[in-house]
Structure 1
Amino acid sequence: MKSYSIMSFCAGLLCALSATSVLAAEAVPKAKPQPKRPNIVLILADDLGFTDLASYGSEINTPSLDALANEGIRFTNYHTAANCAPARAMLLTGVDNHRAGVANIPEMTPPQQRHHPAYQGVLGDNVVTVATLLEGAGYRTYMAGKWHLGQTQDKLPSRRGFQRTVAMGDSGADNWEQKPYLPIYEKANWYADGEPIDLPDDFYSSEFLVDKMIGFIESDRPQSEQPFFAYLPFMAVHMPVQAPQEFTDRYEGVYLNGWTALREARRQRAIDLGIVPSDVAAVDMDTSRDWDALSEEDKRFEAKRMAVYAGMVEAMDFHIGRLVTYLKDIGEFDNTVFIFTSDNGSEPSGPAVLNNVRTGMMLARQDYTADYDTLGLKGSYVNLGPSFASASASPLAYYKFYVGEGGLRVPMIMAGKPLAVQQNLSNAFAYVADITPTILALTGVSAPDARYAGKPVEQIMGKNLLPLATAELDRIYSDSDYVGYELAGHGVLFQGDYKLVYNRAPVGDNTWRLFNIVADPGETRDLSAEQSGRFQAMLTLYEQYKLDNGVLDPPKGYNHQHQVVLNGLHDRFRAQLLLGLFMIVIAVVFIVIAKHHRSR
């Protein structure tokens, strides 16, 4: 009986304690579950023009990107650099490209500038990439695509914050096989997780890169609940322009009216979509040939060149759609923010005429053809050329390598449920350096301080664009803020709605001009005389920008196309040239000695 009483007492005590614990637990408010951090997919096209997407005025079929545009926000006044590596440096760091060591691509940098810290042509150790910051905050970080920010082991993306990578290191390469597109390269340099690789036999660049990105995400998915950052810089539509036949076939005959008609048609569609003002005017570029002066055979060939280009854009969009479908299938689409843009405007370089004997002989030395029937397929070389490049950038002036709007203003789309987008179009000025701080704001990751990982680093100059998407603000940059940019002597300064611009000859006119690029994005009305006070004040600010960022003037007679050839000869054939020079010196010495002996 006594034993039973003790047991009963203990049982009662346990029940009382249990009840008290339950009441105490109910009294403490439950912690709110933390929202899941969003995945970030940053997609970068290469050399895509301002109106190359249907959602920006194109006739090219781009349903995957248009769907994102319709669900998100399209930026109509977004600017980047005028060529690729400087744009990529700013995109991934938020730091001015001169301060990041990438004032120009190394292929275009004259030897007189190569000693300067701003002109190394590779991403400096004084900047921190957004991938490094996200990795440090627990993100999985992936990259598949063109890098072009350095190829030594310490400069590859596997050392700049990306955990899994497949990267093409050069300015460009063939899209069907592992071969260089220019004779300045000995080979096409591809790397996987920091080591050189060989490409598969069934390689096509856009398909391959999306396959790799899906593989990276899938390989970690079962084991990890961490969000991911996926950087997908396509090779499309950098030359050589190449596309699977089924995509090119869709544009057969579409471009037989020529580049002038296409430029006007895109201008009108961009007006209808609200991408540009209804009264936008456009200048005619002197580099555009007279379509009506071409023979019917030449018109057919030129139209096919543009058809391949359109096919390559659509193929890129198709493979972006595969990635979107995959993310929907695994339940990650609703927690993903997509950012799509281009590194610079449309590419005018390469042979102006492909279908002639001289160009054919030049291409044959690189194991390329320009045969009409196989144009765009394996072994074929296609470039857009300056005439269709102007149509690609319609209604803007200029194109890649120049600082007219056609070289700097490109599409930019942000989409995804985590953005809580409240407006579909923004005409606010935005800049490539704004992408990194926007990603940091989305993910709740802090920007680096003046020191990071034990060393001083450059501070982010860009601004967070999220208030534009949510309609909290109608502009991020105030009228007193300014953004400067320089490339090989071309200069530009943005302030408010205005742009100060200088384009060097031979395509430019070596004259400083002032435009209101909100009212006049086609840069048709120079305001430098009418608003001389603003013009002079902005000139002063540009000189201050040069001083603050270590900008150097190019050497006298500099031409970026000639410099590419000279640098290529120097970098690829330096040993042979030195040996040849040595042999010449030895020969001269022997001749002098021989003459001396004969004279005795």
Structure 2
Amino acid sequence: MRIKQLLALLCISSQLAQASEIPPAPSGSAGKPSRPNIVVLLADDWGFSDVGAFGSEIATPNLDTLARQGMRFSNFHVTASCSPTRSMLLTGVDNHLNGVGNMRETIPQEHEGKPGYLSVLNDRVVTVASLLKDAGYRTYVAGKWHVGKERHNLPDQRGFERSIIQGDSGSDNWETGKRYLDLTDKVYWFEDGKEAAMPREFYSSEYYVDRMINYIQHDQQASNAAQPFFAYVAFQANHIPVQAPRAFIEKYKDKYKDGWTALRQSRRDRAIALGLLPKDTPMVTMSTTKNWDALTVEEQAYQARRMEVYAAMAEAMDYHVGRLITALKKSGQYDNTVFMFMSDNGAEASDPYAMLSARLWLGMHYDSDMDKLGDKGAYSIIGPSWSSAAASPLSTYKFYAGEGGIRVPLIIAGKDIQQNSIQQGFTHINDIAPTILELANVAKPAGSYHGKPVEIMRGSSLIPVLYYGQDRVHAPDENIGYELSGNQALFRGDYKLVKNLPPVGDGLWHLYDIRLDPGETRDLQSSLPEMFSSMQAAYAQYAKDNGVLPMPDGYEPSQQIFTNAMVHVYIPRYKYPAILLLLGLVTLTYLLARRRRPSGNKGKS
């Protein structure tokens, strides 16, 4: 790199640091490391501004330190739900091509088993773990897996040498055998490809980090200590039920007494001050956001407690991330480690208590008293109003294709990465796998793996951005499509074409400049009619090329979860005597849901 270019990069980095509340750290010399350790930290259901370094009031000092020592991506996109994002993270292949066109929990019956809609990884993809293992990396995973619990899809068959995983969409964070909803017959735990013998109690974030530290330390003491490692820690924080140790919860007492609208505004202002968003970024008030001042004092207190627990769960996760970092420093491995932190989708807004069947089940298995929220045996959510604040200043949340559902924090840190810098160009979850492989000096599969045909990775490596000052990795005219549960989008440079289904969306196409208007407040279809038309054509081509299926009329993801529970759990369990009763319950639940769309509990549940 020429001296003038290097000086320009250092000047830009210094300007970004001065605009940030995070103190600047000295810049390292540019240049990609050779085969570093790679640690991927995946949070569950964190909104765009849930990290301190992205504008949050939540204490995340360890993630903030990584941000200070690396790069924050303010325009990074995933899918709007858990398993499709995880499938793309591991393979670098669009979820419809890798088999996870929808989650098992939310897939409509009409799509089940269709090509691209297995709801688990298919046999036409290879994971980064397999490629890294072949190249001499040690490979570990601990946490939520959710891309298939069939024998051929367990981590030991997907490239991980050591693994302890929870196989489904989630579970209780205090009791290993306790389901978070009645969606499966039990909690499925696997260790190294076999059913795991789990402790009866744990705290999920602590346990996953404990196991990962043990894996790394064990191999460091063995003969293969010189090998680099790939460690994937997939946390359950902050998936429902929202639970956290009491000591963390009490730190947030009275922090949220002013409500979700005030929080949404303050987070927006901090994100702008940090340089993550354009000055005066506008934002909308979502139709699902309730009027805080219309709540009673008791309702406000209950809702504030829910957010206190949510913040505590995030801080607890960060604390245990810090324990992993400390262990790597003590072992001398930290300086040769690249860290990647991201969330799998935006914050969870669904309210299981709004569905009669779930409400009855939860009433039998969980407590919801205010003074017990977060504890063992208690169940908490945050609902759409707090979820909107967690995504501030973006629109929508988990399940939907608005920026609040699919734009999440991404931090990448390591030696010689441009420190305390912000990357504002569009980036995508499919970019992560190619980045990992280039860090490790491993080639992407060229259409085959061990003699079997596999899908080609479609993303772009972020190495030019991380180490060499490039301002974007996707060309301004590149089309990148997206679809999940009928919510659709197409990205082209700074522009986004998007359609969200009711009840959150209107089912129509809209066009936004998400660089200048990340809150999606100014529809540009009238002022840019040619672009609007050409992007619709490009989306149609994406859907055709990737085998996207149309959604059945009346589809709504929260309702589909409980319909699938009836089909896959209740009817097989209770057989024919209960079928009529269950069908009646489904009908009643559906009618009630149509009358009162999920919007979060205002008081005790």
Same fold (TM over 0.5): yes
- Give how far 1:115 is off: 2.8
- Give how far 1:420 is off: 3.3
Q: Could you tell me the TM-score, scaled by structure 2's length?
A: 0.88
Q: Output aligned runs, 1:467-546, within 5 Å.
A: 467-546=464-543
Q: Residue 45 of structure 1 aligns with which residue?
A: 43
The AA in structure 2 aligned to 1:379 is G
Find the partner of 1:62 among 60, 63, 71: 60
CA contact (8 A) 1:87 1:344 kept: yes
- Give how far 1:201 is off: 3.6
Q: Residue 309 of structure 1 aligns with which residue?
A: 310
Deviates most, 464-473 or 249-258: 464-473
Whole-angstrom CA distance in 2 between matches of 1:350 and 1:582:
25
SS in 2 for 1:107: coil
- Give how far 1:166 is off: 0.3
SS in 2 for 1:98: helix
Whole-angstrom CA distance in 1 between matches of 2:166 and 2:314:
19
Q: Residue 78 of structure 2 aligns with which residue?
A: 80
The AA in structure 2 aligned to 1:573 is Y
CA contact (8 A) 1:422 1:471 kept: no
The AA in structure 2 aligned to 1:323 is L
Whole-angstrom CA distance in 1 between matches of 2:244 and 2:170:
15
CA contact (8 A) 1:360 1:369 kept: no
- Give how far 1:170 is off: 1.0
Whole-angstrom CA distance in 2 between matches of 1:573 and 1:63:
44
- Give how far 1:566 is off: 1.4
- Give how far 1:114 is off: 1.2
Q: Residue 228 of structure 1 aligns with which residue?
A: 229
- Give how far 1:117 is off: 1.5
1:403-440 deviations in whole A, cap 9, x for unaligned?
000001000000011x4326610101000000000011
Whole-angstrom CA distance in 1 between matches of 2:172 and 2:444:
37
- Give how far 1:579 is off: 3.8
- Give how far 1:582 is off: 10
Moved over 4 A (4+): 351-354, 357-362, 581-584
SS in 2 for 1:434: helix
Q: Output aligned runs, 1:26-45, within 5 Å.
A: 37-45=35-43
Q: Output aligned runs, 1:371-382, within 5 Å.
A: 371-382=369-380
Whole-angstrom CA distance in 2 between matches of 1:559 and 1:298:
28
The AA in structure 2 aligned to 1:317 is D
CA contact (8 A) 2:41 2:232 kept: yes
The AA in structure 2 aligned to 1:395 is P
Whole-angstrom CA distance in 2 between matches of 1:315 and 1:228:
25
SS in 1 for 2:152: coil
Counterpart check, 1:242 vs 2:239: no
Whole-angstrom CA distance in 2 between matches of 1:49 and 1:427:
17
Whole-angstrom CA distance in 1 between matches of 2:146 and 2:64:
28
CA contact (8 A) 2:571 2:579 kept: no
1:289-340 deviations in whole A, cap 9, x for unaligned?
1100111111111100000000000000000000000000000000000000
SS in 2 for 1:446: coil
The AA in structure 2 aligned to 1:541 is A
SS in 2 for 1:44: strand
SS in 2 for 1:522: coil
Structure of higher RCO (CA pairs closer than 8 Å, 6+ residues apart):
2
Cα distance change, pair 359–567 in 1 and its aligned pair in 2 (3 A): closer
Q: Residue 364 of structure 1 aligns with which residue?
A: 363
Whole-angstrom CA distance in 1 between matches of 2:486 and 2:77:
18
SS in 2 for 1:108: coil
Q: Residue 407 of structure 1 aligns with which residue?
A: 405
Cα distance change, pair 358–455 in 1 and its aligned pair in 2 (3 A): closer
Q: Output aligned runs, 1:114-125, within 5 Å.
A: 114-125=112-123
Q: Output aligned runs, 1:256-405, within 5 Å.
A: 256-351=257-352, 362-365=361-364, 367-405=365-403
Deviates most, 192-201 or 533-542: 192-201
1:11-51 deviations in whole A, cap 9, x for unaligned?
xxxxxxxxxxxxxxxxxxxxxxx975200000100000000
SS in 2 for 1:106: coil
The AA in structure 2 aligned to 1:474 is D
The AA in structure 2 aligned to 1:328 is K
Cα distance change, pair 453–364 in 1 and its aligned pair in 2 (3 A): same
Deviates most, 559-568 or 517-526: 559-568
- Give how far 1:577 is off: 5.8
Find the partner of 2:562 among 565, 568, 587: 565
Deviates most, 471-480 or 156-165: 471-480
Larger Rg computed on CA atoms: 1
Q: Residue 128 of structure 2 aligns with which residue?
A: 130
Q: Residue 590 of structure 2 aligns with which residue?
A: none
- Give how far 1:578 is off: 4.9
SS in 2 for 1:325: helix
CA contact (8 A) 1:169 1:189 kept: yes
CA contact (8 A) 2:353 2:359 kept: no
Q: Residue 443 of structure 1 aligns with which residue?
A: 440
SS in 1 for 2:366: coil
1:49-90 deviations in whole A, cap 9, x for unaligned?
000011000000000000000010000000000101110011
Give the aligned CA root-mean-square deviation in angstroms. Answer: 1.9
% of aligned pairs identical?
50
- Give how far 1:358 is off: 11
CA contact (8 A) 1:423 1:469 kept: no
Q: Gapped runs of 5+ residues in structure 1?
A: 1-33, 585-600
The AA in structure 1 aligned to 2:232 is Y
Whole-angstrom CA distance in 2 between matches of 1:198 and 1:180:
16
CA contact (8 A) 2:428 2:459 kept: yes
Whole-angstrom CA distance in 1 between matches of 2:268 and 2:580:
59
Q: Output aligned runs, 1:456-475, within 5 Å.
A: 456-475=453-472
CA contact (8 A) 1:82 1:344 kept: yes
The AA in structure 1 aligned to 2:39 is V
SS in 1 for 2:511: strand
Whole-angstrom CA distance in 2 between matches of 1:37 and 1:545:
35
The AA in structure 2 aligned to 1:273 is L
Cα distance change, pair 35–91 in 1 and its aligned pair in 2 (3 A): closer
CA contact (8 A) 2:396 2:404 kept: yes
- Give how far 1:156 is off: 1.0
Cα distance change, pair 497–479 in 1 and its aligned pair in 2 (3 A): same
Whole-angstrom CA distance in 2 between matches of 1:363 and 1:115:
30
- Give how far 1:363 is off: 2.1
Cα distance change, pair 537–153 in 1 and its aligned pair in 2 (3 A): same
